[in-house]
Amino acid sequence: MSLVVNLAAGLIFGIGLVISGMANPAKVLNFLDVAGSWDPSLAFVMLGAIAVTATGYHFVLRRPKPLLDSGFHLPVQNNIDRPLVIGSAIFGLGWGLFGFCPGPAVTSLGLAATGTLVFVPTMLIGIVAASLVRKRPSEIKEA
């Protein structure tokens, strides 16, 4: 059952990326290009996503536990530490260079653009490398 729900959630997420235009790195780069060919669409993606998520989370988190698991897997860390700041800056640099963040990049895999087929494998290497660098991996929760 969990596998089916995860498959459905991934599919809905991916369709959302496709409809919103976020799966297109050119659109993302134009959103980031505030001094040039600015395309504000991405702000609407964020607003639409946060409006639904914040409302849904509000009700879901009142429940004692999720439907198919014994508890919620939420990040436990609360402080703004060096890895958060440095990691986010590195992430922003990569995102600004190419216009792909992990969701759109993975969603685009089957479309098989050459850039995607290079970006995703090196992204996976980066993910594994960062997992190894972190000394206490139990502290990193997928935020």
Partner 1 sequence: MAVATEFTALASSVGGALIGVSAVLLLYSNGRIAGISGIVKRLIAPAADSKPAQALAFIIGLISAPFVWTAVTGHAVTQSVSTNIPLAAIAGLLVGFGAVLGGGCTSGHGVCGLSRFSKRSLAATIIFMAVAVLTVFVVRHIIGGGP
136 part of the interface to partner 1, by CB under 8 A = no
135 part of the interface to partner 1, by CB under 8 A = no
Residue 63 Rama label (left phi>0; alpha psi -120 to 50; beta): beta
User: How far apart (Å, rounded) are the C-alpha atoms in residues 78 and 143?
Assistant: 11
User: How far apart (Å, rounded) are the C-alpha atoms in residues 75 and 98?
Assistant: 28
Q: CA triplet 17, 21, 25: central angle to 5 degrees?
A: 95
108, containing H or E segment: none
Q: Which residues in 10-29 contact partner 1 (CB under 8 A)?
A: 10-27, 29
Q: How many residues bind to partner 1 according to rule CB under 8 A? A: 124
- What string of DSSP letters covers 117-142? HHHHHHHHHHHHHHHHH-S-GGG---
CB of 124 to partner 1, least distance (A): 6
CB of 140 to partner 1, least distance (A): 5
CB of 64 to partner 1, least distance (A): 11
54 part of the interface to partner 1, by CB under 8 A = yes
Q: Which residues in 56-115 contact partner 1 (CB under 8 A)?
A: 56-57, 60-61, 63, 65-69, 71-75, 77-80, 83-103, 105-111, 113-115
The single-letter code of the amino acid at 10 is: G
CB of 47 to partner 1, least distance (A): 6
37 part of the interface to partner 1, by CB under 8 A = yes
